[in-house]
Amino acid sequence: MTMALDVGRWLKLVRCNRPLIHNMTNLVVTNVVANALLALGASPVMAYAHEEVEEMAKLAGAVALNMGTLTPDLVAGMILAGRAAAEAQIPVVFDPVGVGATQYRQQAAQEILAQVPLSVLKGNGGEISHMVGVGGSVRGVDAQTVGSGLREAMAEYARAHQLVVVATGAEDLVTDGQTVWVLSNGDVRLSEITGSGCMVTALIAAFLAICDAPCQLAQMAEASVAAITCFNVAAETAARMAQGPGTFVPQLFDALKALTPEDVNRRARLKDTVA
């Protein structure tokens, strides 16, 4: 490790600031996303109407856009919210759920990328492989295969688009184009429940809300690393307490709530390398 990342300090700052996170997320996970943010110590709000998304986004500390159950109306709303946030230097994370599965998801993701200045692009390995152009595939909304040379392609994409790229999986990758972080916490139970990836997206938003405006890429990469690590360390605790995927979910919120800065720093498994 070339430099130490104090994840626990990030966690403390989130809890002190209790940032308001504006979520435009999918119909499947709204409840667990809200509960994950509350358990972390942030304040979730969901708002979708074109009539209010710009105003709500500007009130928030960060905005999380997730196209898991996209419609043309939702995509248009996301663009309104995302642009309003970006203009006010409020960070925006975008999760192109299921991109590559259908033409429409491909088209919608491209439109959002073109219209909204993003802080973080986050997906599973299959989605990000697809986005950064190294193949890879998704099946519905799950990663099926990851493209080869993903790390390098992510870093190049981050530099080209001036954003942080996050790919989740057995190992999670985070890069700002200069550094690539490899994160090894987590548990296989996360792949046995719906909404794991969507909760991570929302948590990244909560940590981005702590960055100093205008946010620097390097700091937003650290925020993303801290968010994923808190979530994954909590998941490890929850997996030990749970008997299956059903009991894992409530244990995950308990563990997120109980997570201490010391605990997460002690258990964090991070590696950073030059991109």
Candidates 140, 213, 214, 274; binder of its own copies (CB under 8 A) is 140
Q: Please tell me whether residue 61 adopts helix, strand or coil conformation.
A: coil
Residues 6+ apart with CB under 8 A from 224: 120, 122, 164, 166, 174, 204, 207, 208
Shortest distance, CB of residue 107 to its own copies, whole angstroms? 8
Segment lying near its own copies (by CB under 8 A), choices 119-127, 209-217, 242-250, 263-271: 242-250
Q: Does 247 bind its own copies (CB under 8 A)?
A: yes
| Count of residues touching its own copies (by CB under 8 A) | 61
Q: Does 254 bind its own copies (CB under 8 A)?
A: yes
Candidates 255, 264, 268, 270; binder of its own copies (CB under 8 A) is 255
- Say if residues 185 and 267 touch (Cβ distance below 8 Å): yes
Shortest distance, CB of residue 214 to its own copies, whole angstroms? 23
Joined together, the tokens standing for residue 226 give 């801290």
Shortest distance, CB of residue 216 to its own copies, whole angstroms? 26
Give me the 178-207 binding string for its own copies, x by CB under 8 A, dash otherwise: --------------xxxx------------
Q: Does 27 bind its own copies (CB under 8 A)?
A: yes
By C-beta, is 236 or 254 nearer to its own copies? 254
Q: Does 240 bind its own copies (CB under 8 A)?
A: no
Q: Does 76 bind its own copies (CB under 8 A)?
A: no
Tell me 216's DSSP state: P
Residues 6+ apart with CB under 8 A from 229: 7, 183, 185, 264, 268, 270
By C-beta, is 68 or 177 nearer to its own copies? 68
**What distances in angstroms separate CA 21 from CA 98, 123, 209, one per listed residue?**
23, 19, 8
Candidates 11, 13, 14, 34; binder of its own copies (CB under 8 A) is 34
The strand ranges marked E within the chain are 20-24, 43-46, 62-66, 92-95, 120-124, 137-139, 142-145, 164-168, 172-175, 179-183, 270-274
* DSSP string for 92-132: EEEE-TTBTTBHHHHHHHHHHHHHS--SEEEEEHHHHHHHH
Amino acid at 159: R
By C-beta, is 229 or 237 nearer to its own copies? 237
By C-beta, is 72 or 149 nearer to its own copies? 72
Q: Does 32 bind its own copies (CB under 8 A)?
A: yes
How far apart (Å, rounded) are the C-alpha atoms in residues 231 and 32?
Answer: 13
Shortest distance, CB of residue 238 to its own copies, whole angstroms? 8
Residues 6+ apart with CB under 8 A from 98: 67, 68, 105, 127, 138, 140, 141
Give me the 35-74 binding string for its own copies, x by CB under 8 A, dash otherwise: x--xx---xxxxxxx-xx--xx--xx-------xxxxx--
Residues that bind its own copies (CB under 8 A): 20, 22, 26-32, 34-35, 38-39, 43-49, 51-52, 55-56, 59-60, 68-72, 98, 101-105, 139-142, 192-195, 242-247, 249-258
